[in-house]
Structure 1
Amino acid sequence: MPDETPLVVYRDRVRAEWVDYNGHLRDAFYLLLFSYAADVLIERIGLDDATRRARARSIYTLEAHVNYLHEIKEDAPVRVDVRVLAHDTKRLHIYLEMFTDARDVPVAAGEQMLLHVDTSGPKAAAFDADIAARIEALVEAQSLANLPPAKHRARAIGLPSPGAR
């Protein structure tokens, strides 16, 4: 039976080997957890391993942004919620929020631009009709769910230029 919840959810626990010298989740592992959550999304839209192999299709990450909002300690349970912000015939713009049981606000937020690829090239390829239909259904379900705004969306990194002070 397909998952009918509007958010794609990934759950894990902070492992000892992911913790840095400050006793916090090392920065690279936030992105690892987001990557695992993106894998759950990829499976949810029908691109499981068997389908990827049979069709010579996959998803590549074109860009990723991470906002580190609060530290997480070893053994903390984590949940990553994923939603699709936008999509076209071959790309997905996704938003991810990471939570722990101890907080109802995210400990991290991120965005990724994903590209559907024909791996025989490799080259960008339009989603197959069945995958596109699943994406549309997921986007519609997320739209109807009245989810909170993607608060950390489209943040830029930078300092003011010297002339702007």
Structure 2
Amino acid sequence: MAEVYDAPLPWTGDIESPLTLFRAEVRQEWIDVFQHVNVAHYLTMGDHANWAFWNWLNGPDSAMEARDGHEYVIVENHVHYINELALGTPIHVTTQLIGMDKKRFVLFHHIWKSETNELAATNEVKCLGFNLTERRPENWRPVVAKRLEQILQSQTGQEVPAVAGQGIALKKS
């Protein structure tokens, strides 16, 4: 079954802090045999936040057809699992833009249990501007580049998470 994404929020130029563009309840299809969210679906939640961010950022061109193939692809992901999530748990994802250049940006998502405000996971993602027609990387459209800069400026006071950019490693004994 295909994943269903929420309708995009409209771009107004107001950038809330923290930026929260995805809210949901843990869905049945995300639950595994251990009766909690399967590891892959923490990434699904991050993907919902990516798509919400991208569609919001591109408003009013929130539909792919309006963007004429000027999209993004994800080239790197890192998920940190902190707290398990059960079926029906209300969640929300806060999104921080922690870096950008002319054709890439990095988002850092915090996935929260909404009722207790407990952190359940984080997801760091690197996105690359991509032309679906030509099947190659490209620079951001001017409106996207301008809005990314606005978002980055609005989040200047937010500390970059300590685990950002770390990846995976074993500690040497």
Matched, 1:111 2:121: no
1:47-86 equivalent positions in 2, closer than 5 A: 48-50=61-63, 53-86=66-99
Judge conservation of contact 1:78–1:100 (CA < 8 Å) in 2: yes
Cα distance in 1, alignment partners of residues 41 and 13 from structure 2: 27
Among 30, 47, 57, the residue aligned to 1:35: 47
Cα distance in 2, alignment partners of residues 49 and 107 from structure 1: 29
Cα distance in 2, alignment partners of residues 52 and 87 from structure 1: 25
TM-score by length of 1: 0.87
1:153 match: 164
Name the CA shift for 1:51/1:17 in 2 (closer, same or farther; >3 Å).
Answer: closer
Q: What is the CA distance between 1:129 and its match in structure 2?
A: 1.1
2:107 match: 94
C-alpha deviations, 1:103-147, integer Å up to 9, x for none? 33421011100011111211111111111111111111111xx33
> If each structure's helix is expressed as a fraction of its own residues, which one has the higher value?
1
Cα distance in 1, alignment partners of residues 120 and 166 from structure 2: 16
Question: RMSD in angstroms over aligned alpha carbons?
Answer: 2.0
C-alpha deviations, 1:89-110, integer Å up to 9, x for none? 0001110100012433421011
| Seq. identity, % | 21
Name the CA shift for 1:102/1:140 in 2 (closer, same or farther; >3 Å).
Answer: same
2:12 match: 2
Among 26, 29, 32, the residue aligned to 1:14: 26
Structure 1 residue ranges without an equivalent (≥5): none
The size of the alignment, in residue pairs, is 160
Name the CA shift for 1:28/1:136 in 2 (closer, same or farther; >3 Å).
Answer: same
Cα distance in 2, alignment partners of residues 52 and 91 from structure 1: 22
Q: Which has the larger radius of gyration?
A: 1
Cα distance in 1, alignment partners of residues 152 and 40 from structure 2: 29
AA partner of residue 82 (structure 2): L
Name the CA shift for 1:134/1:51 in 2 (closer, same or farther; >3 Å).
Answer: farther
Cα distance in 1, alignment partners of residues 33 and 142 from structure 2: 48
